[in-house]
Amino acid sequence: MTDTATTTEQDRVLIFDTTLRDGEQSPGATMTHEEKLEIAELLDEMGVDIIEAGFPIASEGDFLAVSEIAKRTKNAVVCGLARANFKDIDRCWEAVRHARQPRIHTFIGTSPQHRAIPNLTKEEMIERIHDTVTHARNLCDNVQWSPMDATRTEWDYLKRVVEVAIKAGATTINIPDTVGYTVPFESARLIRRLIEEVPGADEVIFSTHCHNDLGMATANALAAVEGGARQIECTINGLGERAGNTALEEVVMAMRVRNDILPYRTRIDTTKIMNISRRVSAVSGFPVQYNKAIVGKNAFAHESGIHQDGMLKSADTFEIMRPEDVGLKSTSLVMGKHSGRAALRAKLKELGFEVADNQLNDIFVRFKALADRKKEVFDDDLIALVQDQAADHATDHLQLKFLRVICGTEAPQSADMILSVDGKDHQVTATGDGPVDAAFNAVKKIYPHDARLELYQVHAVTEGTDAQATVSVRMEEEGRIATGQASDTDTVVASAKAYIMALNRLIMRRQKLGSDRKEISYKDAG
């Protein structure tokens, strides 16, 4: 499915997804190697034009992930990020060179604030831009260049550096609003003036990369397209550091729904949006806010009496797009404790999940257990089961074997726990300020650690007192951040599982230095 409502030829807008690079820079959003490969495959299947797979120089883990994504990707261009130096660029090329369509993306900060970091004069920076872009182009025919913090760069200097990059061989010029500083009319004007005034601008593609610090990332990206940009850099769910990036689902659906005034087309199969949104949320540990545009739980929910009455008479009264357009099924309750494996497989396929036989067997066992505890099993319950199953616990150092809590109006609350540590069971009783605190204290009593809990978040998967709870936690230890997410009808059990998952990830990173991203000092390209 393409995002064009007419049969006439329309300008193509390329979708550059940076979920695996800029999105992963959100504190706590670091993904495992396997999770990165899975997300890249989903991005490729949904029609993303360019996948920015990572920052190869950051660590051996990042390099291996980008390299493997490059080898596996079937349709999309695979891009790696590199700072403006030969070492970064060479490492980036080494990672992406096996892709069917490789791209090197190199950048340098050009605003006064960012020029001060490498302590370069304007002329020294011009020389570095020329030399590094030339070097990248000698390695790869597809080179993207970004003047980081472009929207706060002096106009005359921005024109000059863009011209230098084009003459050096850049094929895509990305104009990042690195700190979410600009507003829509400025965004459009900036791109338009660059295209009109920079020599050679008509021979390259201009791209826009907007951050959401003032809540205008989507508006700024669409304005840039109106100004002449033909590539949008974005992430699934708007994931990204600080307030996030332009949300892929928002710009794609805006161009689809308002194709009358935004006459552009993309290759995105919009029916795959909900599935990848849920998966990115699960692997990043960042729940999607209920009122998030397009993919939020309430995006197609109607409670107001006037709205419900209008919906019953005609769906387009209060809905400008159909739930089916983004891959959201209108059915909710179809499964129960008497449902068999074939029915479960069919239902999961309807929800966008293709599972192998061994995965189906595991999900089926837990589905039956859930059906015995819940009166009704909803689509979201099944999605939570799949996401919980997707986390590979086979190599976990810590595994929850038993948990019983005592809580009530009289403090302190207590938790009895059996926790397996590297295959050996340990049993303790711990107290705390509430059952969740008691459970976390029990874990710490068995496995002492210095990790600090930065985030604890609970939301109900479905309605009712028997609803599953999905718990997300974020933990920090010596600069390393890890998240955990788990679901259960018992909120305390879900909390303990999520806490233990985050700890397991911290342990894994501690033991496999370099397998995941190391903390290094660098600035992103947007």
Q: Which residues are annotated as a binding site?
A: 22, 209, 211, 245
Contacts for 169 with CB less than 8 Å, ≥ 6 apart: 133, 134, 136, 137, 143
In the 3-class helix/strand/coil scheme, how is 478-512 assigned residue by residue? Answer: CCEEEEEEEEECCHHHHHHHHHHHHHHHHHHHHHC
| 139/95 Cα distance (integer angstroms) | 12
Q: Is the previous residue joined to 412 through a cis bond, with omega within 30 degrees of 0?
A: yes
Annotated binding residues for Mn(2+), written as ranges, equal 22, 209, 211, 245
In the three-class reduction of DSSP (H, G, I as helix; E, B as strand; rest coil), residue 116 is classed as coil
Q: Are residues 65 and 101 in contact, defined by beta-carbon separation less than 8 angstroms?
A: no
Residue 468: closest CA among 386, 345, 350, 358 = 386
In the three-class reduction of DSSP (H, G, I as helix; E, B as strand; rest coil), residue 70 is classed as helix
To which H or E segment does residue 175 belong? Answer: strand 172-177
Contacts for 345 with CB less than 8 Å, ≥ 6 apart: 355, 360
| 441/427 Cα distance (integer angstroms) | 13
Reading the block at residue 285, the tokens are 């540990």
| 227/193 Cα distance (integer angstroms) | 8
Reading the block at residue 149, the tokens are 């913090």
- How much helix, strand and coil, in percent to the nearest 5, is found in the chain? 45, 20, 35
346: left (phi over 0), alpha (psi -120 to 50) or beta: alpha
One-character DSSP codes across 257-273: HTTTTS-EE----GGGH
Contacts for 141 with CB less than 8 Å, ≥ 6 apart: 171
Reading the block at residue 319, the tokens are 């809905």
| 512/388 Cα distance (integer angstroms) | 23
E strands of 211-260, at which residues?
231-234
